[in-house]
Amino acid sequence: MAASEKRRSSPAAAVAGSDQVRPSLPSNGAPSESEAEFLLQAGVSDMVREALLKVLEARPEEPVDFLAGYFERLAQSGPEEPEAGETLSAGGEPRGLLRGRLGRALWYLSLAHHSHRMAFNNNVSVAYDLLSAGGRRKKPGVSGKLYSELLRLMCQDKGAPEDIALPLLHKVTCRDHEAVPFDIFRYGVLTCLVLLEFLTKADLLFNALGGSSGAVDKRVCAAVLGTLEDALCPAEVAAPIRFLEAGSKLGPDCLASAMDKALAERKPSVAMKKEEFLQRASSIFVARVKPVE
């Protein structure tokens, strides 16, 4: 009974005695010099400042969830040590450490959307530096093999089918022994991210055409894909005007007109499945990608 009473009274006692154990604060509410020194020495101040900068850069819809995930990942990415007997990669680095660096690089690349140019460029730079460190390479930069593996994992993690991702990877990856400069690294990462977003939009477009059942009239799909291809064809005009023209061609009125025209043709109708639609849409995109030389 006495123990029970003690347990019930302990929270109140803790509150009552909190003034005795809580470090005193100056009248202005700022931490004392010893507390500030502790935060500085522990790296907490820099850590929190960096987290807040990432929130401002990414501007997520759920900032609290973003911070929770950020600190969780930060806690998991502490100093790594190679395991006993672990095999080495071609660059002379333990494979476990290599996988860890790839994972951290992918995490940084996911912190901000590529449309947030400054934040995205900063994260690409951090990912590049992460992958440049370690190993026994004599040339500066990321190895072509590591760069290609990063792009492959990026497409795989986002669920891009292999037969769709491979044609793009063949265009933007480098030879295994090459040292990949930052500009090429950024180009490959950005191109893969744009393809992944393009596939998401193409999936939504297929569903809007009535693909909830898994198939759509092939005439309608062909009309939409033809309009998409026409919109992506480069025009001999400045970039802003070209983008406006592409947007107008892909507007609801233009697409509706193309579909009505296709359905007006008296031809036998067959169905197109989503996989074929995405494959053909991605081939239109990949055909416009400039290969890495």
Distance, in Å, from the CA atom of 282 to the CA atom of 191, rounded to the nearest integer, reads: 12
Cβ–Cβ under 8 Å, residues 111 and 119: yes
Q: Tell me the pLDDT band of 73, cut-offs 50, 70 and 90.
A: low
Q: How far is CA 25 from CA 19, 29, 217, in A?
A: 11, 6, 71
Q: What is the DSSP string of 161-203?
A: -HHHHHHHHHHH---TTSEEPHHHHHHHHHHHHHHHHHHHHHH
Helix H or strand E segment including 37: helix 33-42
Q: Which two tokens stand for residue 123?
A: 């994260």
For residue 57, pLDDT beyond 80: no
Cα dihedral 51, 53, 55, 58, rounded to 10, equals -130
Q: What is the DSSP string of 224-258?
A: HHHHHHHHHS--SS-HHHHHHHHHHHTSHHHHHHH
Q: What is the DSSP string of 90-146?
A: TTSSBHHHHHHHHHHHHHHHTSS-TTSHHHHHHHHHHHHHHHHSSSS-SSSSEEHHH
For residue 153, pLDDT beyond 60: yes
Average pLDDT over residues 65-70: 74
Distance, in Å, from the CA atom of 277 to the CA atom of 23, rounded to the nearest integer, reads: 64
Q: Tell me the pLDDT band of 236, cut-offs 50, 70 and 90.
A: low
Segment 168-217, tens digit of pLDDT: 999 999 988 889 999 999 999 999 999 999 999 899 889 888 877 778 88
pTM of the predicted structure, to 2 decimals: 0.68
Average pLDDT over residues 12-17: 42
